[in-house]
Copies of this chain bind each other. A is one copy, B any other.
Amino acid sequence: MATPPPAPHRAKGRPRSAAADRAILDATREALAEVGWGGLSIGQVALRAGVAKTTLYRRWPSKNELVMDAVATQLEELEVTDLGSLRADIEDVVAQFAALLSRPETQAALLALFAEGTRDAQLRKRIRQTIVDPQKRLVRQGRANAQARGELDPDCDEASAAEEIDIIFDTIAGTVEHRMLVSGEPVTPDWISRFTTLLLNPLPGFRA
Contacts and interface: CB of A to CB of B under 8 A. Distances in A.
Interface of A: 35-39, 86, 107-108, 110-112, 114-119, 124, 127-128, 132, 150-153, 163-164, 166-171, 173-179, 181-185, 191, 194-195, 197-208
Given A117-B181, A128-B183, A150-B207, 17 more contacts: A39-B119, A108-B118, A111-B111, A114-B182, A118-B181, A151-B207, A152-B203, A153-B204, A153-B205, A164-B204, A169-B183, A174-B177, A174-B178, A198-B199, A198-B203, A200-B203, A201-B201
Overall SS of chain A's interface: helix
Contacts of A170: 175, 178-179, 182-183, 185
A171 B200 contact: no
A152 to B, nearest CB: 5
28 contacts: A36-B116, A37-B119, A38-B116, A38-B119, A111-B112, A111-B114, A111-B118, A114-B115, A117-B182, A128-B183, A151-B206, A151-B207, A152-B205, A164-B204, A166-B183, A166-B185, A167-B191, A168-B198, A171-B171, A171-B198, A173-B174, A173-B178, A174-B174, A175-B175, A197-B204, A200-B202, A200-B203, A202-B202
